[in-house]
């Protein structure tokens, strides 16, 4: 259902701090032409935490409109309040999205039982497939494999985006969740290794600016051409690493603007522009990766 190279899409803003829908349209076209397998609209890379509910829903709807059925759109619907995550799921049920991606609740640090009940509530109202999203580095809570195993038994919960970088979890997920459960890496630096161990693909930040290369890499991996995939991955490794030298999506939005993919690289506070030191590092990473 979901596999290959899926982009964790940035949300472009203009200098007036409004969503730039012209740039959003350009991004959707870029990913269609580049062969990306899917688009996550308004995930954490899309600065979901700083969009209003109205903006959040509109960006997803516009992404679906611009895609016009040519590429699957996955809606970011996560929140740290269960009722808010449920509301996003309800609002986007009939939007035309192929699925939703829901991050673990952040800041309030629920127990494993709390996480289970949180996702159970979402699954009960969602009319589209639900992908769990575990990123402890941002949320301060870790959705453990055993809890994922329980959740995999629920209707609508079809997979997980795991951004821990812990490759040992792939085997655990397979054992606990079965062969049909979709395993997506959320860590670009280990994404290819994740797939080699039995994962289905990646939801990627690097894909924002190296979409064709990422698509080709995971296509080769699916075909068993691992040496060729490795060559691409090594070339992209400077981006995998240096797009996170400051809080994402700060570096990748600067890079996307430099490459002409978005009109402006603006972010919403509390995120700020990439530092001068960071610009030098990311510019060199683009050069090293052959992305011009």
pLDDT of residue 32: 98
251 φ/ψ angles, rounded to the nearest 5 degrees: -65, -40
User: Could you state, in order of their start, the residue ranges of all structural domains in the chain?
Assistant: 4-235
Beta-sheet strands, E only, within 176-237 = 182-185, 201-204
Range 135-150 average pLDDT = 97
3-state secondary structure 71-105: CCEEEECCCCCHHHHHHHHHHHCCCCCCEEEEECC
Over residues 32-48, the pLDDT tens digits come to 999 999 999 999 999 99
Evaluate if residue 93 carries a pLDDT over 90: yes
Is CATH 3.20.20.70 what the domain over 4-235 is classified as, yes or no? yes
Rg (alpha carbons) of the chain, rounded to whole number: 18
Annotated binding-site residues for pyruvate read: 45, 203
Q: Which residue(s) pair with 134 in the sheet?
A: 162
Over residues 111-122, the pLDDT tens digits come to 999 999 999 999
pLDDT band for position 1 (50/70/90)? confident
pLDDT of residue 149: 98
Q: Is 178 left (phi over 0), alpha (psi -120 to 50) or beta?
A: left
pLDDT band for position 21 (50/70/90)? very high
pLDDT of residue 65: 98
Evaluate if residue 292 carries a pLDDT over 80: no
Range 7-22 average pLDDT = 97
State the catalytic residue, choosing from 106, 119, 133, 253.
133
Range 256-274 average pLDDT = 97
Which pair of structure tokens corresponds to residue 198? 């039995």
pLDDT band for position 11 (50/70/90)? very high
- Is 235 considered catalytic here? no
- Is 161 considered catalytic here? yes
State the catalytic residue, choosing from 30, 119, 161, 253.
161
């Amino acid at each position: 259902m979901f596999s290959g190279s899926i982009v964790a899409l940035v949300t472009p803003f203009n200098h007036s701090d409004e969503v730039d829908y012209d740039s959003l349209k350009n991004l959707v076209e870029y990913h269609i032409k580049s062969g990306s397998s899917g688009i996550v609209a308004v995930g954490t890379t899309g600065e979901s935490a700083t969009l209003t509910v109205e903006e959040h829903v509109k960006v997803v709807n516009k992404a679906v409109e611009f895609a016009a059925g040519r590429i699957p759109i996955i809606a970011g619907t996560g929140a740290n309040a269960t009722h808010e995550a449920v509301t996003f799921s309800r609002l986007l049920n009939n939007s035309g999205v192929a699925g939703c991606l829901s991050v673990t609740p952040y800041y309030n640090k629920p127990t494993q039982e709390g996480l289970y009940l949180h996702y159970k509530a979402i699954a009960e109202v969602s009319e589209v497939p639900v992908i769990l999203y575990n990123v402890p580095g941002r949320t301060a809570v870790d959705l453990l494999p055993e809890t994922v195993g329980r959740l995999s038994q629920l209707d609508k919960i079809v997979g997980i985006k795991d951004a821990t970088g812990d490759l040992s979890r792939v085997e655990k997920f397979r054992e606990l969740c079965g062969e049909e459960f979709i395993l997506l890496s959320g860590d670009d630096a280990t994404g290819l290794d994740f797939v080699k161990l039995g994962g289905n693909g990646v939801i990627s930040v690097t894909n924002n600016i190296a979409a064709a290369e990422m698509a080709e890499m995971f296509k080769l991996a699916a075909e068993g051409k691992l040496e060729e995939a490795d060559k691409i991955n090594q070339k992209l490794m400077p981006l995998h690493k240096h797009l996170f030298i400051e809080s994402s999506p700060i570096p990748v939005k600067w890079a996307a603007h430099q490459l002409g993919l978005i009109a402006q690289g603006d972010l919403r506070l509390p995120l700020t522009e990439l530092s001068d030191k960071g610009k030098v590092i990311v510019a060199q990473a683009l050069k090293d990766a052959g992305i011009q």
